[in-house]
Amino acid sequence: MDPDSFDLLFGKTLLINDLATEAQIRECVVLQSDRAADGESPFLGDLMVEKSFCSREDVDAVLRAQYKQELLRDDLDFKKEALARGWIGETVLEEALSHQRDCSVNEPSIQRLSDALIDRGHLSLHQALLILLHIKHQKRLEQSSPPPQPSSPDTSPIEEGTHLEGQVFDGYEIQSHIAAGGMGVVYKGEQLSLNREVAIKILSHRLSSNTKSIYQFIREAHAAARLSHGHIIRIFDLGQYRGLYYMVMEYVSGTNLRQRIEEQGPIPPIQAIHYTLQALSALQAGYAEGVVHKDIKPENLLVDEHGQIKVADYGLARIEDYLETEKKPSISGTVQYMSPEQVNGEDLDIQTDIYSLGASLFEMLTGEPPFRATTSMGVALMHVRQPLRPLEELPVPVLPDLYRVVEGMMAKARPERYAIPSDAETDLRKVLAQLENPQTPQPAKKKTSPERKSSSIRRRKRPRRR
Ligand X SMILES: Nc1ncnc2c1ncn2[C@@H]1O[C@H](COP(=O)(O)OP(=O)(O)OP(=O)(O)O)[C@@H](O)[C@H]1O
- Residue of 7, 75, 190, 313 that binds ligand X (CB under 6 A): 313
Any catalytic annotation for residue 321?
A: no
Write out the H or E segment, with its range, that includes residue 279: helix 269-288
Interface mask (CB under 6 A) for ligand X, residues 234-273, using x and -?
Answer: ---------------xxxx---x-----------------
Q: Cβ of residue 130: shortest distance to ligand X, in angstroms? A: 53
Q: How many angstroms separate the CA atoms of 384 and 342, rounded?
A: 9
Nearest to 413 by CA among 336, 371, 354: 354
Binding partner of 183, given Mg ion, ligand X, none, CB within 5-8 angstroms per partner class:
ligand X
- For residue 276, the one-letter residue type is T
- On whether the CB atoms of residues 420 and 284 are closer than 8 A, the answer is yes
Regarding 463 and contact with ligand X (CB under 6 A), the answer is no
Q: How many angstroms separate the CA atoms of 389 and 107, rounded?
A: 67
Binding partner of 190, given ligand X, Mg ion, none, CB within 5-8 angstroms per partner class:
none
Interface mask (CB under 5 A) for Mg ion, residues 269-308, using x and -?
Answer: -------------------------------x--------
Q: How many angstroms separate the CA atoms of 61 and 170, rounded?
A: 31
DSSP state for residue 215 in the 8-state scheme: H
Q: Cβ of residue 199: shortest distance to ligand X, in angstroms? A: 3
Q: How many angstroms separate the CA atoms of 405 and 427, rounded?
A: 7
By beta-carbon proximity to ligand X, the closer residue of 315 and 463 is: 315
Binding partner of 363, given Mg ion, ligand X, none, CB within 5-8 angstroms per partner class:
none
- Beta bridge pairs of residue 304: 254
Interactions with ligand X, residue window 110-149 (CB under 6 A) = none
Q: Cβ of residue 410: shortest distance to ligand X, in angstroms? A: 20
Nearest to 191 by CA among 230, 234, 248, 254: 248
Regarding 284 and contact with ligand X (CB under 6 A), the answer is no
How far from 144 is each of 89, 138, 150, 206, CA to CA, in Å?
32, 10, 18, 34
With H, G, I as helix, E, B as strand and everything else as coil, classify residue 186. strand
From 7, 75, 295, 353, active-site residue: 295
Regarding 337 and contact with ligand X (CB under 6 A), the answer is no
By beta-carbon proximity to ligand X, the closer residue of 181 and 367 is: 181
Q: What is the DSSP string of 384-447?
A: HHPPPPPGGGSSS---HHHHHHHHHHT-SSGGGS-SSHHHHHHHHHHHHHHHH-TTSPPPPP--
- Residue of 96, 131, 224, 233 that binds ligand X (CB under 6 A): 233
User: Which residue has its beta carbon closest to Mg ion?
Assistant: 313
Task: Identify which range of 40-48, 99-107, 293-301, 323-331 contacts ligand X by CB under 6 A.
Answer: 293-301
Regarding 300 and contact with ligand X (CB under 6 A), the answer is yes
Q: Cβ of residue 216: shortest distance to ligand X, in angstroms? A: 14
Write out the H or E segment, with its range, that includes residue 283: helix 269-288
Write out the H or E segment, with its range, that includes residue 6: helix 3-16
Q: Cβ of residue 198: shortest distance to ligand X, in angstroms? A: 8
Burial of residue 395, with CB atoms counted within 10 A of its CB: 0-12 exposed, 13-18 middle, 19 or more buried: exposed
Regarding 182 and contact with ligand X (CB under 6 A), the answer is yes
Regarding 186 and contact with ligand X (CB under 6 A), the answer is yes
Those residues with Cβ within 8 angstroms of residue 259's Cβ, 6 or more apart along the chain or in another chain: none
By beta-carbon proximity to ligand X, the closer residue of 134 and 188 is: 188
Q: What is the CA radius of gyration of the chain?
A: 28
DSSP state for residue 232 in the 8-state scheme: B
**Is it true that the peptide bond before 108 is cis, omega within 30 degrees of 0?**
yes
Q: Cβ of residue 203: shortest distance to ligand X, in angstroms? A: 10
By beta-carbon proximity to Mg ion, the closer residue of 376 and 426 is: 376
Interactions with Mg ion, residue window 142-181 (CB under 5 A) = 181
Question: Under rule CB under 5 A, how many of the chain's residues touch Mg ion?
Answer: 4
Half-sphere exposure (Cβ direction) of 451: Cα atoms closer than 13 Å: 0
- Residue of 313, 341, 349, 423 that binds Mg ion (CB under 5 A): 313
Interface mask (CB under 6 A) for ligand X, residues 190-219, using x and -?
Answer: ---------x-x------------------
Task: Identify which range of 174-182, 337-345, 395-403, 426-434 contacts ligand X by CB under 6 A.
Answer: 174-182
Binding partner of 233, given Mg ion, ligand X, none, CB within 5-8 angstroms per partner class:
ligand X
By beta-carbon proximity to ligand X, the closer residue of 312 and 410 is: 312
Interactions with Mg ion, residue window 351-380 (CB under 5 A) = none
How far from 149 is each of 140, 171, 444, CA to CA, in Å?
19, 20, 76
Active site residues: 295
Residues interacting with ligand X, by CB under 6 A? 178-179, 181-183, 186, 199, 201, 233, 249-252, 256, 295, 299-300, 302, 312-313, 333
Applying CB under 5 A, the residues found at the interface with Mg ion are: 181, 300, 312-313
